[in-house]
Amino acid sequence: PTREALVEAVYAAELDDVATSAPALLDAFPPDVALRAWMDRYAAFVATKRGMLDTLRAGWASGRIATATTRERITAALGAILAAGARTGSLRADVAPEDATVMLLGVFVATVGDDTPERTARLLDLVVDALRTRPGPEG
């Protein structure tokens, strides 16, 4: 019925896509590859959110959109991928999903105004690299 309602519906649909995509990505790829693919989806979500920021701010301020729920859903999806990676030994088991979410948010906050796809991709690659396991001293 309104522009605001349309923006909120798009936001909710894209959040659902990001939040529910982890299992399918884990079915298709090893956990570290699924993590990077999921991060691409999340980056697209953030980019879309930036384009709707003024309208979204009004939704957040009015309580129609709950930012805590958004972060919880993103962290849960990320946690599922990290747990799968910890089970296979491809991703570190000592990183809390909340900490990984903060790392991602840092990438997106740091690139505001300088968010070329190449720079964002490079930074996301660095985050994935930080989350991968390292061989021990003997290997």
CA-wise closest residue to 86 among 67, 78, 71: 78
The model carries a pTM of: 0.84
Helix (H, G, I), strand (E, B) or coil at 91: strand
Instruction: Calculate the CA 85 to chain-centre distance.
Output: 16
Domain definitions of the chain by residue range: 3-131
Q: For residue 66, what pLDDT is reported?
A: 57
Give me the CATH code for the 3-131 domain, please: 1.10.357.10
Q: What pLDDT is recorded for position 68?
A: 57
pLDDT per position as a tens digit, 54-70: 666 666 676 666 565 78
How many other C-beta atoms lie within 10 A of the C-beta of residue 36?
Answer: 19
Residue numbers in the chain where pLDDT is lower than 70: 51-60, 62-68, 115, 136-139
Question: Which residues does 37 contact at the CB level (< 8 Å), separation at least 6?
Answer: 25, 29
